[in-house]
Structure 1
Amino acid sequence: MYDNVRLVVEDFVYNGDVGALLAARLPPPQQCPAHLLPELALAHWHRFQAQSGFAGLADREIAAAIAGTPGDLAVASVIAMPQYRALAEAREQFQLYQDRDSLVLFANACTAVMNVVDDERMTAALTADHATLLLLLDEHDGTDTYRETVVNGLNWTIAHTPRGDPQRARRLVDRARAQANAGLSPGKIVADYRAAAQLALRERPVWRDVVLELAQYECDLYTGGGASIHLAGALVTCRDLADALERDFGDTAEVAALAQLEREVSREIGPDIAQFLMTCHRDPRALQAQYDLVESLRHQPVTRDVLVRRRDEAWVLAVGLPLDHDARPAALLSLYYAHDDLWEIGGDTEAITLAYDAITEALLITSPDHALRAQLLRALAHCASTAAMRTGSRDEAALAVDAARAALNLPAADDDQRALRLSALADALITQCRIGADPAPGREAVTVAEQALALTPPGDSNLPLRWSSLSRAAEQLAEDGDHAMFTTAVDAAASAVSTIATDDVRRVGLLYNYAAVVQTRAVSTDATYAEPFHEAERAYRAALALVGPDHPDVPRIESTIADVLYHRYRQCGDLGALDNSLALAEKAVGQTPRDHHWWPLRAFALARSAQALATFGGPDADRLRELAITYYRAVSGHPATRTQHRMICEQAQAAISAETNPATWLDAQERVITAIPATISRALSWVHRVAAARQLHGLADRVVDAGVRSGQLDRALELVERCRGVLFGDAWGIRRGWARLRRAHPSLAEQLSEVERELAEADGYADLTFHIEVEFNGRVSSRDWDPRPQALEQIRQLSMRRDRLIAHARTLPGFEDLLVPPNLEVLRTHTAGHTVVIVSAQGSALVVPADRREPVQAVPLQQISESTAHAQVGRLRAALADVKDPACSFDRREQAQLEVHAVLEWLWNTTAGPVLERVTATRLWWCPIGIMAQLPLHAAGRHREDAGQTVFDRAVCSYTPSLTALADTLSTPRPHHARHTALIVGVGERNGAPVLPSACAEAEAVAGLLPGSTVLIDAAADFDAIKQGLHEHAIAHFACHARAVSSAQHPDQGGLVLSDGMFVPSFVHDLRTTGAQLAFLSACDTAGPDPALLDEPLSLASAFHLAGFRGVIGTLWHTADSSHTAEAVYAALTDHGTRPPDTAEAAAALTATLRSMRNAFPAVPTRWAAHIHVGD
């Protein structure tokens, strides 16, 4: 039975009940009486407008067919698809059963249609439908699994929905609901609702449900504790709806809440405001007077009171205008400027968010050809850049650049307008360079700023700003390492000052910028002469003299002067400057409200100066230390402080505690360590994660020192496990978790493995750009490809999926601790029977005895310090360079070998000797941290004396990346039925690399000791053959060249050199081997640490260990005796080829081999000290 079509239409027109309209049973056109066909067409048209997805398009097709107008071929094409028929069936099933299974089938059917549709409009409609289904699925499950996917999908849908599309309003409402469900900013949600309401108010009859939903949301915000602005917004929304209803029906009775809202606004905000809001839409003179008031306030002397009043009056104007008024974009732009000034000058942290909201709404309600479009896009670029700087969001930085480019691409009236837009793009690129740690946007920023400068004639009032823009761009490049750009930066800043009138209010900012770049150059280049600091101070004080004593910029300038004085003390030794720095910093903090967005930086400057003065002692030392701790603690707890800055504050507190209370020193270190996971999140690119890991330099050493001083050795040891090798530890935890999951939950293990592979692939593109040139018929075409934005988004999405998989795995029995740092009791249980020595250059070694009943011991290393260790590392590097240099004389080479001996003797005297006096075990594992990781502890000794005072003669040694890695390895049983054969790779020839004649002979010799092995020589050693061999054999042997892995570039820039490429770390990580026992990397520099990231095992040896090899033999430096060493080791493991290799004895075999070589060539330590064993 079908509903009465005429009544359905009349009921919707007069009541606006969308639910009733969509639930109505409408007859097919062929079954509808002819006189009712116009009403049926109208009913379907109203249904089309009331829906955001594809069902609405289907209704429109029916309406068009009834009216006899052309249909949409794209819609017809989708409806004819078999996948769409399956979707229709799934919809019916869901409507019938309303359960989770039918909902999942419905969503999957929608996805199936989306996968085969290539029309953008159809995809937008289907994406809107799919988003609704995912929200329903989250609601059913009580989760938020899909909330970000839904918001991203609707963002794409709205971006591909033209302003004139009748479904745009509904899609905006969908996104507003999705953003509310995701807990996003109310300002963005209100902007979507208002943009939708603007469109709804212009419809005849008005779409009252859309308008009322906005009013209800604003009322809910207010009653939920939000600002009274939302109450006023609800009033104006209902006022506009009442006007629209009066326009359509001559009746306002349906907006019964209007009078109540007016009374609420009158009581909460004021009767004058309430009356203005209720009447201004019909009084153009009142609106003009309000606009004139806002403009007049822009020209008054700047004080915080003026800034606040201007913001309030701009808000009254923006709120009072009808939602569909043509002047609304201009009013929102004026509100943006008021909020931005309150942020920039007044320091109001909420103001920039409100400015962002105002611009977001203005852009949603303006067409691409609107007269204000370019201004709005520049404002969006500024807001997004500011948000990026506050949060470190690369997405916001990219949005800023996109907005600035969009503004630049719009027609410009003249060169001045184009130059203004170029400057906006330069500013956005500077932010992207700073956030992304990528010089490419910085270089483009310089080019763009120069283009803007070239378009600006001498004497132009904006010329100083163009110079300043160039200065900022050049300064950013210089800060990133291209110090030559400092000259451009300083000269451009000086030109900005010299070209601006002395009475121009902008002179203050340009003097400040000039002083800042002069100071930055002095600090970045470690200037030790005082003049640049004096020059910066003079410029800052000149800026200070131009503002009144009550100007909001006074604390900012004084705090910056305090900063330049501190650096003058720190780099030039001017103690008087430090006294003045503290006084100015205290004054600036006293004048800055605690909720000001710059308060943390000003308070940090105060704490830093107080800490430095306290080190000189005196009667004020205790007060200064307490002052420093108080403000470090306050900055650390401030909501505007970013994670890395918080860590700096905690480390500073730890340093102060070290002088006074060692127990609290360790507490402070633990607070630093607790913040680490957020800084190395897997949602960041590899470059960002490495940069964050570098910030941890020296932390593990300090933890050991704090633990020894406080006597809390167990706690210190647990903290060391959490703060070093964090990138390696994350990968190790995933690898070991996969191995355990593979046995119990293979499907989940495969999903986790796939995510890791995709993350590694995305990492490879996250920091690369490509320039592609193609030549055809004598013509060359080129294009640039920048995959970074897509790669970064992919990393973010994959990271969330990874987190969900890990969270799911933790709900399974036995996997509750996946990626959770184990406590020391667990570690000691697994390492029982194995002695581990953690060595720190801070003057201590921690010994973890093989007997878990014995406590962890601290061995004092009284003759060692970080500076002496650095000196020995430099000594060793210089000697190794001389040995390797073919131009070096025989005398110098001999002297170099003596230098290596001296380093080994120093290591014995200061480190290994004291440890072995305390430790009686003849089998031990070294775990050096910090600078000690660059020294060959396994070969320490007085080898030129026949007294047995060497590690070789006292113990069999291995290295372990961490206690956790060793514990995991030892707790994994050796396979009972592992093959006793090897994959043996020998590559002696490769274009671009020196010939390695011994590689093939070494491969054949090793193969002779391991019958049944797979041998790949030169070109036969391709990637596929190697991967297959690694899965088939328990032993892997590589004789070839190698390129060391470095954190300065992507890890895959290093690897084992093959005939047609390199076997890189990511290939190794992908192996997921389960029976691998021993990898022998008979190549140069395969096990040495990265000097720039000493506590992260990034070497090839660690990559093989991570891939599942229990033990790995590699080299710390280039050595000419790898072939002899390899043959001797395998001969020992196989009893000269007469029995299967005992890989468990690899470390003992290596030690015996090196000891034998030492005895044969005692004067050449570089031949026998390079090889090490990692793992078990």
Structure 2
Amino acid sequence: MGDPQMRLIVSCEIVEKPLDGNRDTEAVAAHLTACGRMLKSRFDRSQNFSDITEALSAQKRALELTPLGHFLLPGRLSDLGNSLTTRFQSTGDLLDITDAIATHEKAVKLTLYRDSPLLNNLSIALTLRFRHTGDLWDISMAIVVLELARDITPEGHPTLPSILSNLGRAFRTHFDKTWDSSVLAKCISAFQKAIELTPEDDEGMPGLLVELGTAFRCRFEQDGNLSDSNEAIELQNKALELTPAGHADLPSRLDAVGTALRTRFQLTGERLFIDFAISNHRKALMLTPWNDPCFSCRLLNLGISFKCRFELTKSPSDIDNAISAHANAVELSPKDPLLFGMFGSLANALMCRFEHTGSASDLAAAEAAYQRAADLIPDGHRYQLALHRSIANASYIRFNKSGDSRDLERCISQYESAVNCRIGSPLLKLMTAAKWARLLRRHYPNSPQILSAFDMALGFVALIAGLDKTVERRYSWLQTEPGIAMEAAAAACSLDRPDKALEFLEQGRCLVWGQLSNLRTPLDELRRIDSSLAYRIADISKQLENKGSSRVGHHISMSFSERIALEDEAQSHVKLSQEREKLLQTARAIPGFEDFLKPSPSSDLLRHLPDSGPIVVVNVDESRCDAIALLTGLDEPLHIPLPNFTLDKAKKYRADLKMLLRSGRFHAREEEASTVLGSEAAARPIRPVNRARRDGDVVHGVLRGLWNDVVKPILDTLCFSQIHPSSTAAYPRIWWCPTGAMSFLPIHAAGVYRGSKTDSILDYAVSSYTPTVAAITDRVKKHRTIEKSVSGLFMTSQPNAQGMTSIPGTTLEVQLIHSLAIEHGARVVKLEGVDLTPEDCLKYMESFSSVHLACHASQDAADPLESRFLLHTGSLDLATILQSNLGKNADLAFLSACQTSTGEEKLSDEAVHLAAGMLAAGYRRVVATMWAIGDQPAQEVATSFYEYLWSHGEENRDGGFDGTVSAYALHHAVQQLRHRLDNSESSLLTWVPYVHFGY
């Protein structure tokens, strides 16, 4: 009886006898409270069930003796709630945890939700019930409670790190259920702040580092951002360094490092990562007793890593080790809640060996394991999508072996189920939907399901490249399934659905370009209905535009506080995106605004076509090539099959041009060319044209092939080839909207330029390009409702830029145009060289409707917003131009620089060039170049272009020009140059690069 705790418990039993009327009630209640705490504490150590039962009895009696309003009542309620929670953890009786939550709720209500420890206790109970029932409401409420506890806890309070770490765990639990990336971002932020407030020598620090590292790994698995993987590995390794030998948590931390390394290998394929992963998993397993509950999970991780390495090395020992580890994990865990995952991993390993050896027994065992996994996995589990994919892959392998259509049908059914899973990474769903669509197309080419599958795939494209990410990240993700929109359009054309093909292309191409345009859409109609809503949408859109282009990237030298700030900035970005989406839903609930800022359906595009000519989309895919023409007066898109053209031809033409241009066998404005058709080329000195070379017909061959197989069939169908206009002004217009590899080919110059029967597109129509159909139809709508604004021309020549060769011809070019402007009484400003800073250039662009830039330009394929114009005193990048307030005044941009409409091969359908960027910035029309241009031709084209503008179009009292005739002006100027030259290859290379974009 010498133990004070024992004496207190025994005295508690004495107090439970009938009370003496003279005994002080509060003293008894206090005594019972202390007894209850001691009994619970003893239960925590001994697990003697009678202790927790007696603790609950004492605490309930103490509450009976505590009057309502007593200042100790909330604490005693919380004590009872904690004991009920403890008993629930032993028995799993839902009544206990439900009573615990109700008791904790009473306690926090009595403190008016102002007591952090009580709120924390309530959150623990809610989280435990969620883990037992899976009811999302419980974990959501736990998060609300913990956020409240965090908000009322002052900075510097010792409980704040604990509250933040609990909040991080709650967010992680919620994420495991929902796979919601915004929740995972909050999880990371909470753990980061908990670590920042925790002393480095605190015993809990390694555990926090592990949990934060795991959260970063999860995000890396979801988004593939290497900086997240770097963070995960760095944090897990640091936790390992802080863990002494013999520590109980050392095996789990070794296992966590191994998992982080394996995840990195699965994306990058770097051998070093998987070797180190296996080494860490093995060490973890060696330190884990075989009867430890974690032993089977660590076996599972080792097996997965062996399988990953086998996929790289094809070493039989690796796959045998993987299967052995998985089989042992299954055998050791007959009742493990993650048994479905173990069966699934075992099946994956068996399938791997089957594909390598062809063993029928492996295939049969794999299918049996998949079936066990499917039987055991809870509905709605986040691994359900991966399991459906794995079963689909196995079924298709069996189909290829057996030819049994039932195997194929099962495969397709499993892919469909995977795509329709409630939870799963949008990236994985995109890849799955693409597989589903392709299988249907291959085996059931007439199935209407094909269009549904592609519809879903393109919806996931929009999700993985959403407004919550930076523009750079969006472009990175769009390389995951390149060409999916063209593939979908080709399938639609095969099914005689050109309307659907058009919608696919509008939805899945130029996504980032369309987002920028969408963010800048005038809200005049909505403003007339709800000005407040329109203002909020416009304000958030502007903030999103800025955040998408301005966020600082992660780098290894960042301090921890800088990393927290970066994560906070990312969260702010996500919140803005979510808020904008909610506002758009509000707007779409207004009658007449149901499709507000949604991709335009085919029928809507057809209502707003230009009167002066058709828009022609040219789609090229491995399976077929088609044109889709949109003409005023037609209710449906006009489908024009192009059976003689192929994707291989398009690629060959591009490769031929690329090789020719890289050879430097033409006179360029710059003495060196560094970027040609979207690929970095070594700088080469210009050499004279060698007319004797066998490839001297490259350009002629490309233009002739485009004419015979693409352009002439289109003109014939449109009856354009029967028209021979007498002057440029009488020509009809054609807006070309090429896709994929076609985006790099000079469709506007297609023709036969040698022989007795020369013929070309230039003889029938004036060509312009557009990134999307909507880019033109939107301009048509605006042109019909607003007046043109003419406020003059701003010009600059920049013959010198740091690190670049001099281009003195730009000075004469601008002087010639300036003289023309003065002659016509135009408002014009000319600034050159050191007289113009990038900041001043932007101000003049805001003040003048038209700009002529004669300078060097640089295209950044990795981050298109970093593409820039190089001035003598600095550079003006596209991101800065996009953030400026060019407004409705921006009309015409003439980019007299090399390769301003070149594009990037990996992002062929994202219009990642300066010309498209200037359109996105607000300019209605842009003159640009596809490759390097010469000084003398540049001067001739520019002066002839402006002479035409000032002598045609609507009269302007202030000497301005009508930008709507700019396409005709460029056509006229190029024709003037063309007719002055011969039809040699070097002559074609001189005038062909000039292109017109926009309305």
The two structures share one fold, judged by TM-score above 0.5: yes
Q: Deviations over 1:905-929 (max 9, x none)?
A: 5544543354344343264221112
Q: 1:528 to 1:999 in 2, by over 3 A?
A: farther
Kindly report which structure 2 residues correspond to 1:624-639, keeping only aligned pairs within 5 A, or say none.
624-639=407-422
Which residue number in structure 2 is paired with residue 1037 of structure 1?
852
- The match for 2:187 is 399
Map Cα deviations across residues 567-600 of structure 1 (whole Å, 9 max, x no partner).
Answer: 6788999999767654532332133243444333
Aligned to 1:153: none
Corresponding residue of 2:906: 1092
Counterpart check, 1:422 vs 2:233 = no
Q: CA deviation at 1:748?
A: 8.1
Q: Residues 365 and 764 from structure 1, CA distance in 2 versus in 1: closer, same or farther, beyond 3 angstroms?
A: closer
Report the equivalent of 2:637.
Answer: 856
1:381 aligns with 2:168: yes
Between the aligned partners of 2:374 and 2:162, the Cα distance in structure 1 is 35
Q: 2:934: which partner in 1?
A: 1121
- Counterpart position of 1:911: 710
Distance (Å, rounded) in 2 between the aligned partners of 1:1014 and 1:574: 78
Q: Give, in whole Å, the separation in 2 of the partners of 1:1137 and 1:247.
A: 87
Aligned to 2:41: none
Between the aligned partners of 1:410 and 1:313, the Cα distance in structure 2 is 34
Is the CA contact (8 Å cut-off) linking 1:497 and 1:510 kept in structure 2?
yes
Separation (CA, whole Å) in 2 of partners of 1:1004 and 1:577:
78
The Cα shift of 1:1057 comes to 1.7
One-letter identity of the residue aligned with 2:970? L
TM alignment of 1:553-592, pairs within 5 A: 553-564=338-349, 581-592=366-377
In the alignment, the residues of structure 2 paired with residue 457 and residue 722 of structure 1 have an alpha-carbon distance, to the nearest angstrom, of 55
Quickly say closer, same or farther: Cα 1:882–1:590, change in 2 above 3 A. Answer: farther
Return the letter of the residue paired with 2:903. Answer: P
Alpha carbons of 1:1032 and 1:1053: their partners in 2 closer, same or farther (altered >3 Å)? closer
Q: CA deviation at 1:682?
A: 3.4
Return the match for 1:668 from 436, 441, 453: 453
Q: Equivalent residue for 1:718? A: 503
Distance 1:1020 1:750 in 2: 39
The code of the aligned residue for 1:1150 comes to: L
2:818 to 998, 1007, 1022: 1007
2:966 is matched with which residue? 1146
Q: Any residues of structure 2 matched to 1:801-816 within 5 Å, and which?
A: 802=580
Deviation at 1:1039, TM superposition (A): 0.9
The Cα offsets for residues 1062-1107 of structure 1, whole Å up to 9 and x where unpaired, read as 3222343333432443211112332233333332233221122233
Corresponding position of 1:453: 240
Contact 1:1007 1:1015 in 2 (8 A): yes
Q: Does 1:920 align with 2:719?
A: yes
The verdict on how the C-alpha distance between 1:385 and 1:865 changes in structure 2, with shifts beyond 3 A counting, is farther
* Contact 1:311–1:335, Cα closer than 8 Å, also in 2: no
Which residue in the other structure is 1:512 paired with?
300
Secondary structure at the residue paired with 1:737? coil
In structure 1, the partner of 2:956 is none
- Which residue of structure 2 aligns with residue 1172 of structure 1? 995
Helix, strand or coil for the counterpart of 2:917? helix
CA distance in 2, matches of 1:245, 1:592: 50
Q: After TM superposition, give the deviation of residue 1111 of structure 1 in Å.
A: 1.8
1:711-751 CA deviation, whole Å, 9 max, x = no partner? 22223323432332233223324434257789999998776
Query: What residue in structure 2 maps to residue 1017 of structure 1?
Result: 832
Deviations 1:664-688 (A, max 9, x none): 3223333444566555543444355
One-letter identity of the residue aligned with 1:1175: G
Give distance in 2, aligned partners of 1:1037 and 1:566: 62
Aligned partner (choices 834, 840, 848) of residue 619 of structure 2: 840
Aligned to 1:183: none
Contact 2:327 2:346 in 1 (8 A): no
* 1:245 maps to amino acid: P
1:707 matched residue in structure 2? 492
2-structure distance, mates of 1:281, 1:644: 46
CA–CA separation in structure 2 for the residues paired with 1:571 and 1:1145: 64
Partner in structure 2 of residue 1066 of structure 1: 879
Cα distance change on mapping 1:340 and 1:414 into 2, 3 Å: farther
| Aligned counterparts of 1:571 and 1:866: Cα–Cα separation in 2 | 33
Secondary structure in 1 aligned to 2:67? helix
Q: CA deviation at 1:947?
A: 3.6
Q: 1:988 aligns with which of 799, 812, 815?
A: 799
- Per-residue CA deviations over 1:382-419 (Å, capped at 9, x if unaligned) read 3323434643334543434533652574458876x543
Distance 2:136 2:538 in 1: 42
Residue 967 to residue 238, structure 1, CA distance change in 2 (3 Å): farther
The Cα of 1:556 is off from its aligned counterpart by 0.9
Counterpart Cα distance in 2 of 1:569 and 1:907: 47
Normalised by the length of structure 2, the TM-score is: 0.75
2:230: which partner in 1? 443
Residue in 2 aligned with 1:881? Answer: 662
Q: Is the 8 A contact 2:510 2:911 kept in 1?
A: yes
| 1:700 CA displacement | 1.9
The aligned amino acid for 2:404 is: D
Q: What's the offset of the Cα at 1:283?
A: 13
Structure 2 Cα separation of the partners of residues 1136 and 1103 of structure 1: 23
Name the Cα RMSD after superposition. 5.0
| C-alpha spacing 1:451/1:715, structure 2 compared with 1 (3 Å) | closer
Q: CA deviation at 1:1036?
A: 1.6
Structure 1 unmatched ranges of 5 or more:
1-201, 203-234, 253-277, 298-308, 774-780
2:397 and 2:719 map into 1 onto residues whose CA distance is 45
Give runs of aligned pairs for residues 235-274 of structure 1, distance below 5 A: 244-245=66-67
Change (3 A) 1:480 1:1039: farther
Q: Secondary structure at the match of 2:448?
A: helix
Cα offset, 1:793, TM superposition: 4.2
Q: Offset at 1:1021?
A: 2.7
Q: Give the aligned partner of residue 7 of structure 1.
A: none
**Which residue type is aligned with residue 495 of structure 1?**
K
State the 1:1134 CA deviation.
1.5
Q: How does 1:195-344 map to 2 (within 5 A)?
A: 244-245=66-67, 291=86, 294=89, 309=92
* Equivalent residue number for residue 192 of structure 1: none
Kindly indicate whether the alpha-carbon contact (under 8 Å) linking 1:422 and 1:452 is maintained by their aligned counterparts in 2. yes
Mark the CA change 1:954 to 1:371 in structure 2 (over 3 Å): closer, same or farther: closer
Change (3 A) 1:427 1:751: closer
Query: In structure 1, how many angstroms separate the alpha carbons of the residues matched to 2:608 and 2:382?
Result: 49
- Scaled by the length of structure 1, the TM-score of the pair is 0.65
1: CA distance, partners of 2:708 / 2:346: 49
Residues of 1 paired with 2:571 and 2:416: CA distance? 35
Aligned to 2:29: none
Q: Give the alignment of 1:115-154 within 5 angstroms.
A: none
Partner of 1:473: 260
User: Which residue among 1044, 1060, 1080 is the counterpart of 2:894?
Assistant: 1080
Q: Look up the match of 2:544.
A: 759
CA distance in 1, matches of 2:598, 2:590: 14
CA contact (8 A) 2:195 2:205 kept: no
Q: Is the 8 A contact 1:607 1:632 kept in 2?
A: yes
Of the structure 1 ranges 1072-1081 and 948-957, higher mean CA displacement relative to structure 2 is found in 948-957
Residue number in structure 2 paired with 1:126: none
1:977-1008 CA-partner distances (Å, limit 9, x unpaired): 75484211211222233333222222222223
Kindly provide the amino acid, as one letter, of the partner of residue 1009 in structure 1. L
In 2, distance between residues paired with 1:491 and 1:646? 32
When the two structures are aligned, how many residues end up with a matched partner? 885
Structure 2 match to 1:1134? 947
Q: Which has the higher contact order (CA 8 A, sep 6+)?
A: 2
Q: Name the structure 2 match of 1:825.
A: 603
